[in-house]
Structure 1
Amino acid sequence: MPATHPALPLLALVAAGALALSSCGDSASESVALPQHPSVIILSGDGMGSQQRTAIQYHTYGLDERQPMDALPVAGMLDTIPGDPEYAVSDSAAGATAWAVGKKVPNGTTGLGPDGESVPTLLDLAKQRGMSTGLVNDHDVTNATLAAFGAPVPDRDLKVEIAEGYLDRGVDVLFGGGEKYWYPKGDAGRIPDEGDDDASEGSANLVQRAEELGYGYAYDRDTFDALTGPKALALVQDSAKRRSNEIEGYDYHSDPHYVAPEKLVAKALDILGRNENGFFLVIESDDLDSDGHEHDAQNMMLAGESMNAMVQVITEYQKEHPDVLLIVTADHETGGMAIENVLDDDEPEPNSDQVADDPVPYWAETPENMPLPDGGVPKRSGPFTIKGTDRQFKVDWTTAEHTGTMVPVTAAGPLAERFTGVHHNTHVYDVITELFGN
């Protein structure tokens, strides 16, 4: 499908896809021969609901060019409710675990079954097939979403244990931030400690252990470019596009330890794609979730650019590798975000946003992400221009936490049509295991 075509609303795409699928009939889709050695990529925009995807579309691409993550040929919706006796809203651990093991689980459960039991994850099933495996993040590579696949633990905050689990499981490619969990306390690692949250918290030198296990190691752009695999560990600058919130004057462009997320993905595909049995890769933009918690729509737009850049890398790769299934979705929505008209004299529409999870001042006397008197629009909430027009919109927020709304899913590749319509989030597991022949 071409990258540019009229920007139809996502739900219209869903409905169109449903009609197309129903006209073919189930027997037609079932008769399609599956590839013998498929590969799978799950790309999660943590906290990215329909409103976030729409805002990124309007501001970055306008009304005529469809953004890459919504230009995929199949669209649907996934629910996000956890298998929790108390809560109707999911955390990242439960959301990702539903994908990883195919079961609804309580919040906080990271890669384990509903009763905390050990069950095979999709990454385990991929390894059993002889596939290469990879985990990539623009933030901490040991976060709950990736851990649900590569290092199941009883508590998502067991970051050091998660890093150890990745090495124990032999995950082939590990790219992202979170260097502090891989080095023991007192060892600054290879990236300078500048922020309040940079000091090492580990109990052993896991980087050294990884190198002893045959991993190539990278910590900046030069060492990253030199990685060749087949096993590779890159611990680069964590959430670089957001560090100006913590470090005045910081510019990620000039930081030698920053590696753009799309470059992380391109390198992962290069290394993992050499396996004739295929690969299984989970990628996450965790910054989108942080931006929702912090009510920072400006940085959300930057994270959206990264999401679309990663999709572009993958779809280019698919042109030469059609046996790759790409799934783009989210574990939940964060912030209760809404797109609204800008305040004016004729139609006043004040902001009613709640106090953000993290009241970061953003280096201003008046915090730029917090509610202003009389419903004024915080700087981080807009206004934003719809590209190619004179129209503007602003962003409002209803909560500093997650919400229970359904989230979009778009897909391309073998069995992508299975995502047309509305499904439980466990459907991700069902489709992938079908592709695997399990």
Structure 2
Amino acid sequence: MQWLVAPVVAGTLAAAGLIIFNPLTDAGAGKKADTGAPQRTVRNVIFINGDGVGAAHREAARLFYAGPRGTLMMDSFPVSGRLTTSPDDPAKIVTDSAAGASAWATGVATYNGAVSVDPAGNPLPALGAEAKKAGRATGLVTTAQVTDATPAAFFANAKDRAAQDDIARQYLERSKPDVILGGGEDWWLPAGKPGAHRDKPAEDPAEGSRGTKGDLITKAKADGYQYVTNAAGLAAVKPGKVLGLFANQELFQQKPEGQGDVYRPPVTLADMTRTALTGLAADPDGFFLLVEEEAVDEFAHSDNGTRVLQAMGELEKAVAVAKAFAANHPDTLVVVTGDHETGGLAIEDYADGDGPFPVKGTGLKFWIDWTTKGHTGQSVPVTAYGPSAERFNGQHPNTYVHEVLRPLLVN
């Protein structure tokens, strides 16, 4: 894989702040051509998971960041639909992230905790690994551990999502993504051997190296990966494969609200996405990139409206990076969805729950209420931009994602 010399999206995004779609000034908005002509070839696929993001999460973010007459970038895409999320689990009707992502990556519904294995535990071909074998560049970007359920489902197989050190091993030995950016250094090093991020940090003394597969960072370097651990290192990456692990575990602290909950990633999801696109775009055969904002799910598990809105804003910035890239590369399909809904989020106009939160551009306020600290069985929105986007019209099971994407990536 070769890397571009010039930035892919130079001049298209502000260094900070959200890019909010405005139907009055975006001349391309709503035009049929934006969905992509059916005959246009898809060279690149950017698949974005807002972990735990349901329709109400998007609406709360819209009110907060864009106001009652505004539209988020992720909702400005010309094609929208819904995905159901039921797993194939003998004990649960509500999915977890592993089963949800496995449905996308394999086209097979499976049990909670499964990473691209069928309900009997048999490994299935995973879409990211298949795209790599077909000659495309591949990458994953997440604010979770790079070996967490969603990225793992596209590039590994495991009967139990907890086997994160073995998932890391599979990345290096089997699926070999070109770009790996996120958290989770603990799973790449054996216990007692801290890396760039010290064991037992003050913010979470439970963190520390815990792998059982040897020193996988040294192995990655031997395999030709540049290893970077902070924002300066990310900014200085050279042409070639990149492994970036920017924290022991997630790139945030999901402690209970007001008790150490922090969303201040050492590198932003938008910057990781931009770096990944800059590298992957040089491959003449195209690429597949998975992008995930994990913090929405984690903070919704704590019914933490403040941090959920913060994470939604960072997801929106990453979507803006992807949209800007696709606008300049019309052979690129961008899909934004969620693996499930978390928290049973409801928007209310009276003081009963988290808040108040301001409605942008007005003197109004809203509150966020919750029905659970777990996942729900709600269907989730999916929006798409680029060639073949029209396939995502209507309501479909989550396995339908695989039905659409696999023929575009594996041929």
One-letter amino acid of the structure 2 residue matched with residue 398 of structure 1: T
Deviations 1:261-306, CA, capped at 9 Å, x for gaps: 1000000001111100001111111111101111111010111011
Q: Does 1:279 align with 2:284?
A: no
5 Å matches for 1:116-265? 116-168=121-173, 169-192=175-198, 193-194=201-202, 195-203=204-212, 204-237=214-247, 238-242=249-253, 258-265=266-273
Contact 1:230 / 1:272 at 8 angstroms: preserved in 2?
no
Contact 2:94 / 2:375 at 8 angstroms: preserved in 1?
yes
| Distance of 1:270 and 1:91 partners within structure 2 | 32
| Distance of 1:389 and 1:252 partners within structure 2 | 26
Report the TM-score, using the length of structure 1 for normalisation. Answer: 0.82
Q: CA 1:437/1:271 → structure 2, altered by over 3 Å: closer, same or farther?
A: closer
Residue 69 (structure 2) aligns with: 64
| Distance of 2:257 and 2:399 partners within structure 1 | 37
| Distance of 1:240 and 1:120 partners within structure 2 | 29
> For structure 1, which runs of at least 5 residues remain unmatched after alignment?
7-12, 22-28, 344-350, 352-376
Residue 5 (structure 1) aligns with: 23
Contact 1:196 / 1:246 at 8 angstroms: preserved in 2?
no
Deviations 1:343-396, CA, capped at 9 Å, x for gaps: 3xxxxxxx4xxxxxxxxxxxxxxxxxxxxxxxxx4xxx1111111111111111
Name the SS of the counterpart of 2:63 in structure 1: helix
Residue 52 (structure 1) aligns with: 57
Alpha-carbon offset, residue 70 of structure 1: 0.7
Residue 330 (structure 1) aligns with: 338
Contact 1:5 / 1:64 at 8 angstroms: preserved in 2?
no
| Distance of 2:70 and 2:394 partners within structure 1 | 24
Max Rg structure: 1
Q: CA 1:425/1:244 → structure 2, altered by over 3 Å: closer, same or farther?
A: closer
Residue 366 (structure 2) aligns with: 393
Contact 2:123 / 2:158 at 8 angstroms: preserved in 1?
no
Q: Does 1:40 align with 2:40?
A: no
One-letter amino acid of the structure 2 residue matched with residue 271 of structure 1: G
Alpha-carbon offset, residue 197 of structure 1: 3.2
Residue 318 (structure 1) aligns with: 326
Deviations 1:212-239, CA, capped at 9 Å, x for gaps: 0000010011111111242100001354
Q: CA 1:74/1:252 → structure 2, altered by over 3 Å: closer, same or farther?
A: closer
Greater length-normalized contact order (CA 8 Å, ≥ 6 residues apart): 2
Name the SS of the counterpart of 2:333 in structure 1: strand
Name the SS of the counterpart of 2:151 in structure 1: helix
One-letter amino acid of the structure 1 residue matched with residue 374 of structure 2: E
Q: CA 1:340/1:436 → structure 2, altered by over 3 Å: closer, same or farther?
A: same
The alignment covers a number of residue pairs equal to 381
Q: CA 1:244/1:104 → structure 2, altered by over 3 Å: closer, same or farther?
A: closer
| Distance of 1:65 and 1:305 partners within structure 2 | 14
* Percent of aligned pairs sharing the same letter: 38
Q: CA 1:264/1:247 → structure 2, altered by over 3 Å: closer, same or farther?
A: farther
Q: CA 1:246/1:404 → structure 2, altered by over 3 Å: closer, same or farther?
A: closer
Report the TM-score, using the length of structure 2 for normalisation. Answer: 0.87
Residue 435 (structure 1) aligns with: 408
Alpha-carbon offset, residue 241 of structure 1: 4.8
Name the SS of the counterpart of 1:382 in structure 2: strand
Name the SS of the counterpart of 1:42 in structure 2: strand
5 Å matches for 1:72-111? 72-111=77-116
Residue 115 (structure 1) aligns with: 120
